[in-house]
């Protein structure tokens, strides 16, 4: 169900976006803090706009949130001189994107962006533009933790022994004051996510003159517990020129931004019984018998779901929607397909086309193929011309041929979005 979206402000693009997720899903806004000058990088171009294997860190971050199915809108804080003419990847996006001017401090940039967040937002995710390699799964984990706890921050456990220092006698350098148990030390990253009221309290301290290096610190000082979420070793922050070769290396082998196209295949089979509806591709086909299964047993959607998940190497329908989970009892398979597509998109892929073959003795499905193509295409977010559904018989061979079962094969082509 489409959510209402705020209108675009000057210098920003805000196109209607339908996430394809259930209406109970929280409205999530993302803020990318990209207003800094990157003085430690030493060049004229801010670090968030430097090319890293052909794409700037900011562009990579924008692609992450624009394609993420749990994020409904994006606000980007840029240096003043880029607001009037933002980079082209910030315009014409399939999701609401706003551009605001950054401030002299990171927390000022975030405050400016927060003022442009939709009133409908339940959760706000904040991410540094200098961290271009966060994965969609890390974003999802952080959002989920914030929904449960109010605030969450991605962080890595310290792997080295941690020493606290102090001045040496007679001013001769520094010495170890104590060794801190590394089990209690975490190195903060972004994304960081907050329920709206928590972030409002945190930024109120900023407006009162409190300095902090991140919003999680402000939330702590405002009295809110901040939950730790396991970060990622590749989620580095580009700060100095020494970081660029490392970033280039990660970008060239980045598992979170796959390139090119992939193919996958899917197969499904169900027994046919009396008293069950026959649902194929989200369309109810008149029949005296229907497929028996935990969900609505739509073999077309099941086979296509497996093909798409398989192409992205993300498992299969049984792993994503196990029949041991009562939540999927009698579930609509067209809805499960829609959820699987959102999952694949979050991992950096769009569906290009699918081809499905239904193997069924009776009834004939020829008159319903057009409706199936339209239904499946809507779930996939592609045109019906990119969906093929065909009906075949099994010439009386085996259970399918005897009319005791129905089967479907599917092939899918997906394309990397980055």
Parts of the chain belonging to CATH 3.30.1330.50: 261-416
Reported confidence tier of residue 19, pLDDT bands at 50, 70, 90: very low
CA distance 300 to 287: 16
pLDDT above 60: residue 6? no
Mean pLDDT over each residue of the chain, to the nearest integer: 86
Q: pLDDT class for 3, splitting at 50, 70, 90?
A: very low
> Are 129 and 34 in contact, with CB atoms under 8 Å apart?
yes
Q: Above 80 in pLDDT, residue 36?
A: no
Count CB atoms within 10 A of the CB of residue 327.
7
- What SS3 state is found at 359? strand
Task: Give the per-residue pLDDT at 204.
Answer: 95
Cβ neighbours of 288 (radius 10 Å): 11
Domain 28-252 CATH (choose: 3.90.180.10, 3.40.50.1820, 3.90.550.10, 3.40.50.11720): 3.90.550.10
392's CB contacts (< 8 A; 6+ apart) are: 357, 358, 359, 360
Per DSSP, 169 falls in state: G
Quick check: 272 pLDDT over 90? Answer: yes
Domain with CATH 3.90.550.10 in the chain: 28-252
Mean pLDDT of 270-274: 95
pLDDT (0 to 100) of residue 261: 86
Measure CA 7 to chain center. 23
- Residue 127 phi, psi (nearest 5): -140, 140
Of 2-16, 80-94, 229-243, the poorest mean pLDDT is in: 2-16
| pLDDT of amino acid 93 | 80
pLDDT (tens digit per residue) in 372-387 = 999 999 999 999 999 9
Residue 190 is predicted with a pLDDT of: 96
List the one residue out of 84, 69, 55, 87 whose CA is nearest residue 22: 69
Answer for the pair 130, 106: CB distance below 8 angstroms, yes or no.
no
Query: Is the confidence at residue 4, as pLDDT, over 80?
Result: no
Read off the pLDDT of residues 40-93 as tens digits, 9 standing for 90 and up.
555 566 777 777 777 888 999 999 999 898 999 999 999 888 888 888 888 878
Top pLDDT among 347 and 302 is at 302
Torsions phi, psi for 219 (to 5 deg): -65, -40
User: What does the pLDDT read at residue 416?
Assistant: 84
Asked whether residue 414 carries a pLDDT value surpassing 80, the answer given is yes
The pLDDT value recorded for residue 143 is: 96
Query: Is 94 within 8 Å of 72 (Cβ atoms)?
Result: no
Does 46 or 107 have the greater pLDDT score? Answer: 107
- Tell me the two tokens of residue 20: 């394809």
pLDDT of residue 354: 96
Sheet holding 28-33, edge to edge: 96-101, 73-78, 28-33, 123-128, 186-195, 151-157, 227-230
Q: Homologous superfamily of 261-416 in CATH?
A: 2-C-methyl-D-erythritol 2,4-cyclodiphosphate synthase (3.30.1330.50)
Q: Which two tokens stand for residue 202?
A: 């945190």
pLDDT at 115 over 60: yes
Contact partners, residue 149, CB within 8 Å, separation at least 6:
225, 226, 227
Cα 326 to the chain's mean position, in Å?
Answer: 25
Residue, of 20 and 227, whose pLDDT is higher: 227
pLDDT band, very low/low/confident/very high, at 338 (cuts 50, 70, 90)? very high
What's residue 80's pLDDT? 86
Dihedral angle, C-alpha 100, 104, 110, 113, nearest 10 °: -20
Q: What is the pLDDT of residue 255?
A: 43
Torsion of CA 284, 336, 328, 363, to 10 degrees: 20
């Amino acid at each position: 169900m489409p959510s209402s979206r705020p209108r675009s402000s000057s210098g920003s693009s805000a196109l209607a976006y339908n996430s394809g997720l259930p209406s109970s899903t929280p409205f999530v806004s993302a803020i990318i803090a990209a207003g800094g000058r990157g003085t430690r990088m030493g060049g004229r171009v801010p670090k968030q706009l430097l090319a890293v294997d052909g794409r700037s860190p900011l562009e990579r971050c924008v692609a992450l949130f624009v394609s993420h199915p749990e994020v409904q809108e994006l606000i980007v804080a840029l240096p003043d001189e880029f607001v009037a003419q933002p980079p082209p990847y910030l315009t014409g996006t399939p999701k609401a994107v706003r551009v605001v001017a950054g401030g002299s401090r990171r927390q000022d940039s975030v405050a400016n962006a927060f003022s442009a967040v939709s009133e409908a937002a339940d959760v706000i995710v904040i991410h540094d533009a200098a961290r271009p390699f966060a994965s969609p799964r890390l974003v999802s984990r952080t959002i989920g933790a914030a929904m449960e706890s109010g605030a969450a921050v991605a962080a890595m456990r310290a792997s080295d022994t941690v020493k606290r220092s102090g001045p040496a006698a007679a001013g001769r350098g520094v010495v170890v004051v104590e060794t801190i148990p590394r089990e209690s030390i975490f190195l903060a990253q972004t994304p960081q996510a907050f329920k709206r009221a928590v972030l409002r309290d945190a930024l109120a301290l900023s407006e009162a003159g409190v300095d902090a290096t991140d919003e999680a610190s402000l939330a702590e000082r405002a009295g809110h517990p901040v939950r730790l979420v396991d970060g990622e070793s590749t989620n580095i922050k580009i700060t100095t020129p020494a970081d660029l070769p490392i970033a280039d290396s990660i970008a060239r082998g980045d598992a979170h931004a796959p390139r090119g196209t992939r193919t996958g295949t899917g197969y499904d089979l169900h027994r046919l019984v009396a008293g069950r509806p026959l649902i194929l591709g989200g369309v109810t086909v008149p029949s005296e018998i229907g497929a028996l299964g935990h969900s609505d047993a739509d073999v077309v959607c099941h086979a296509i779901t497996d093909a798409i998940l398989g192409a992205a190497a993300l498992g299969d329908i049984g792993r994503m929607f196990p029949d041991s989970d009562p939540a999927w009892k009698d579930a609509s398979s067209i809805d499960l397909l829609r959820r699987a597509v959102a999952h694949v998109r979050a991992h950096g892929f769009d569906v290009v086309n699918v081809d499905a073959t239904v193997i069924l003795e009776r009834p004939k499905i020829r008159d319903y193929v057009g409706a199936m193509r339209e239904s499946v295409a809507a779930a996939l977010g592609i045109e019906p011309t990119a969906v093929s559904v065909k009906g075949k018989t099994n010439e009386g061979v085996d259970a399918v041929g005897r009319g005791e079962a129905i089967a479907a094969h599917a092939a899918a082509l997906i394309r990397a979005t980055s």
